[in-house]
């Protein structure tokens, strides 16, 4: 009985000591390294090109463009001078044509 009690006391104290100190290598504690996020943010041009991959004249393509430039329709929007001006077009079909017109003109650069 005494041997069993002594064994339990030794195991319990060894477990308590093992939890108290972090593992070390060369006297320095081990640290957990988080992986770096290697995905770099896409430019607006790259995001617009990805929208062109969605079927033409669909709501999904318009939603993709609207995610980049949220719509802010005006009663009488000015003629679009840039892709960002397409968001002011109230009619969905016209807004999609506007986005398509600018997105198709974006040059593709080789990496």
**pLDDT (tens digit per residue) in 7-41:** 777 767 655 565 666 677 777 777 777 777 666 78
What are the residues whose beta carbons fall under 8 Å from the beta carbon of 8, sequence distance 6 or more?
A: none
Which sequence spans correspond to the domains of the chain? Answer: 58-111
In the chain, the percentage of residues whose pLDDT exceeds 90 is: 34
| 50 vs 73: CA distance, rounded Å | 24
> Quick one: tokens of 46?
């790259």
- Mean residue pLDDT of the chain comes to 82
Buried/exposed 29-52: b ≥16 CB within 10 Å, e otherwise: eeeeeeeeeeeeeeeeeebbeebe
């Amino acid at each position: 009985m005494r041997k069993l009690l002594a064994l339990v006391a030794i195991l319990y104290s060894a477990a308590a000591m093992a939890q108290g100190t972090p593992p070390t290598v060369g006297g320095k504690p081990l640290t957990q390294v988080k992986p770096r996020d290697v995905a770099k943010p896409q430019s607006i041009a790259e995001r617009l090109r990805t929208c062109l991959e969605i079927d033409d004249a669909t709501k999904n393509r318009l939603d993709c463009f609207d995610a980049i430039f949220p719509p802010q329709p005006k009663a009488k929007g000015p003629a679009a001078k840039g892709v960002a001006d397409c968001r002011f077009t109230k009619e969905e079909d016209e807004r999609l044509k506007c986005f398509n017109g600018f997105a198709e003109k974006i040059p593709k650069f080789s990496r």
